[in-house]
A = this chain, B = another copy of it.
Amino acid sequence: MKTLIKNVYAVMPDGSVPKTNILIDQDRIVGIGPVSDDFHPDKIIDGTDHLAIPGFVNAHTHTSMTLLRSYADDMALMDWLNQMVWPAEAKMTAEDIYWGAMLAMLEMVRTGTTTFADMYGPWMEKVAEAAIDAGLRGVLSRGIIGAAPDGEKKIEENVTLFQEFHGAADGRITVMFGPHAPYTCPPDFLKKVAKTAQSLNAEIHIHMHETKTEIQDSLQQYGKRPFEWVAETGLFDGKGTLAAHCVHLNDADIAIMKKYGIRAAHNPGSNMKLASGVAPVPRLLQEGVCVALGTDGASSNNNLDMLEEVNLAAMLHKVHTYDPVAVPAFCALQMGTEYGGKAVGVKDIGRLEQGYKADITLFDLNSAAWCPRNNLVSLLVYSANSSSVDTVLCNGKVLMENHVLKTLDEERILFEAQRCANHLTK
């Protein structure tokens, strides 16, 4: 199966935006440029008046939590968790996990995300199923709370998830281990997780340094900041680590991130809404740390719209550092695409380049937000919203074309998600 996207403005890895053609064979980009005589496409997508970017990579989310979208907002963090989120989560069945994830898949396809890194559970196999059904690329981990009595069981569930799904669906599904956070996993427990993950050569997805409180608590409990003592457990010694948030960092923390090649998933929307703080993103980028973007769960964002995160990444650090050139538009876009691919450990996504996977999002330029066409990358990051996304390919397969979904039944998903939410929240 060969696909040709013709006459499209394509955002290249160097930030240039030529009008060109994208040649796809099966799951990969086989060329960008003139169409060679021996390329005979089975399908042609007219890219006229469209902008092509690599599909967004949502490097940190909790897809099934989409069922709790706008169930509890404008509350203090602990009230939000104790009174609202945790009681609702405790009621979740496998069916809820599936339809919550499907609602997220629907939203991600509609808004141009092709890869997501998820940490949740139980029943993460239902999230794998949803990603496979939707045609998206999922990097899944079982959220493991070691402080709970069933911590060991959760490690086992993560092992099962890895064995059953790592590399599944033509490699679209990969599995990491998901120790939730240093404040929910004591050192001895993290050692077990590290050992288990490393025995499978699996990567780690963990929340790190999200709030000031968790740093203070760690100093009180362990006399060390979380990055320091977690490094000592050996958790970072394996294949790789994706650390969500990384808001409150000092020099030593950043040195640890660099030493172990830890990739950060920055969540500006969630950090703003939960009042967690502003991550030192310009500094991390300067130091060569890989910084990707994530939405976090829809109950702290409240959507899975990666273009909003790209926009916030470009805007928030300017005002926070009083520097109008901090995190320029193209850099923010790279965080949401190329750096995302690196962060979630999928090497050949996130660039429109020969040899990379054909994960591609097309934006229709025919609206006021894209006029006049002074600078397409600036327009994308600062002016447009995700409703311009009209065509999405993942792994070479068309998931949406001209706003028409090819793998998902929108009406059914909205119905089932509402039905599931009703029993959780009422």
Using a CB–CB distance below 8 Å, which chain A residues touch chain B?
A: 67-71, 73-77, 80, 103, 106-107, 110, 212, 269, 271-278, 298, 301-303, 305, 308, 312, 314-316, 318-319, 321-326, 328-329, 366-369, 371-375, 378-379, 382-387, 410, 413-414, 417-418, 420-422, 425
Closest residue to A332 on the B side, CB-wise? B74
Determine the chain B residues whose CB is within 8 A of the CB of A366 once the complex forms.
414
> Which residues does chain B contribute within 8 Å of A77, judged by CB atoms?
324
- Residues in chain B near residue A329, CB distance under 8 A: 73-74
Is B319 a contact of A278 with CB atoms below 8 Å?
Answer: yes
In angstroms, Cα B328 to Cα A269, docked, is 15
Besides A69-B371, A272-B319, 4 new A-B residue pairs in contact (Cβ under 8 A), listed by A number? A70-B378, A274-B324, A368-B410, A385-B385
> How many copies of this chain does one complex carry?
2
Contacts of A374 in B (CB 8 A): 68-71, 421, 425
Judge whether A269 and B70 touch: CB under 8 Å.
Answer: no
Residues of B within 8 A of A367 (CB): 110, 414
Minimal beta-carbon separation of A426 from chain B (angstroms)? 10
**Residues of chain B lying within 8 A (CB to CB) of residue A372:** 67, 69, 71, 417-418, 420-422, 425
Tell me how far the C-beta of A29 lies from the nearest C-beta in chain B, rounded to whole angstroms: 27
Q: Check A272–B316 contact: CB distance below 8 A.
A: yes
Question: Given A74-B329, A77-B324, do A305 and B385 touch, yes or no (CB 8 Å)?
Answer: yes
B422 contacts A302, CB within 8 Å? no
Establish whether residues B375 and A73, one from each chain, have CB atoms under 8 Å apart when the complex forms: yes
Q: Are A319 and B271 in contact (CB under 8 A)?
A: yes
Note all chain B residues with C-beta closer than 8 A to A319. Answer: 271-273, 275-278, 316
How far does the Cβ of A32 sit from chain B's closest Cβ, in whole Å? 24
Say whether A379 contacts B76, CB under 8 Å.
no
Nearest Cβ distance between residue A156 and chain B, in whole angstroms?
32
- CB-based closest 5 A-B pairs: A387-B387, A372-B421, A70-B378, A107-B368, A302-B382
